[in-house]
Amino acid sequence: MVEHHELQLDPSKLDMLLALVQSNEDGQVCYQELIELMSSKRSSSFRRAIANGRRTLQREILLDETGLGLYKRFVRYVAYEILPCETDRRWYFHQNRLCPPPVFIAIVTIVQIIVFMCYGIMLNKWVLQTYQPDFMKSPLVYHPGHRAQVWRFFSYMFMHVGLEQLGFNALLQLMIGVPLEMVHGILRISLLYMAGVLAGSLTVSITDMRAPVVGGSGGVYALCSAHLANVVMNWAGMRCPYKLLRMILALVCMSSEVGRAVWLRFSPPLPSSGPQPSFMAHLSGAVVGISMGLLILRSYEESLQKQCSWWVIVFSFITFLLFAIFWNIFAYELLGVQIPPPP
């Protein structure tokens, strides 16, 4: 039937159909499994059946395919960079479409560059822009004196300390964020990125109450830490080249950026404009990536709503959000925190 059927099955679905047959002792495929296969929706039980059936199948791996165009070679590269399972890589390779394109990370990066260029020209300063008093007057910067302006808890991601921070964040966003968005989709990756951004500003408002925040490091560290944690958790299955060297290099770069942020926060002499931006957004973004992000990346083509661990993470994040809101409303006055006057 498989050899002479009239249905147009792509190679990945044909591969999985045979795997489903192999996973069943009777050599049968149930109706629900066939529906999930044809509609490209895969439940956890469906994935387990595929994994069991794959053990008995001897097929060529994706790397062995020849005669691919430039775009298809790039898609194959992304599959091996992001996904730890050969079955998932084949599924993604044959199911990949350009619609919707991975535009979220690209748009965020372009806006960040445009905003930085505008302020660089206006301030005539390209490094350590926060030492310029007019920088803090921007309506995009999170400042504790303006915490009632809710948009600042998000908009600070478009402002950057200087060319060095912008370059680091933009490079990581494009190198890691775009492949992640291609595989996992715009909704999941934008949710992860914005959760890291929001967690960054809220954490600063709780732990470093006098400091402002600028830069997209919360979202960037959420993406990077989620990807690195996923690589470590699936070390044997990942087939990206030089993965140990690249892991060490990524950790060194991320640690160096945190060290630079710590130095900037406490380095004397402090400018007349007040405290320098906090580094806590980096750390909170990493926590979001290791918790929420790791679950998202490990749930390729699976429904998050059907997983208990997803709701535990969502409940924890909402609890933190509510606590941070009450903290910002009442704690500053109760603790008598002396915040610098808003510019």
List the catalytic residue out of 138, 217, 278, 291.
217
CA atoms within 13 A on the CB side of 102: 22
**Residue 277 carries which DSSP code?**
P
List the catalytic residue out of 160, 184, 227, 282.
282
* Bridge partners, 213 (sequence order): 142
CA atoms within 13 A on the CB side of 309: 9
CA atoms within 13 A on the CB side of 338: 1
282 is catalytic: yes
Query: In 3-state terms, what secondary structure has residue 213?
Result: strand
Using an 8 Å Cβ cutoff, are 61 and 53 in contact?
no
Using an 8 Å Cβ cutoff, are 215 and 169 in contact?
yes
C-alpha distance from residue 108 to each of 102, 155, 194, 227, 290 (Å): 11, 11, 11, 19, 22
Rg (CA), the chain: 23
Single-letter residue type at 214: V
Structure tokens at 82: 């992001």
Measured distance CA(106)–CA(104) in Å, rounded:
5
For 31-51, give one letter per residue: b (16+ CB within 10 A) or e. eebeebbeeeebeeebbebbe
Residues with catalytic function: 217, 282
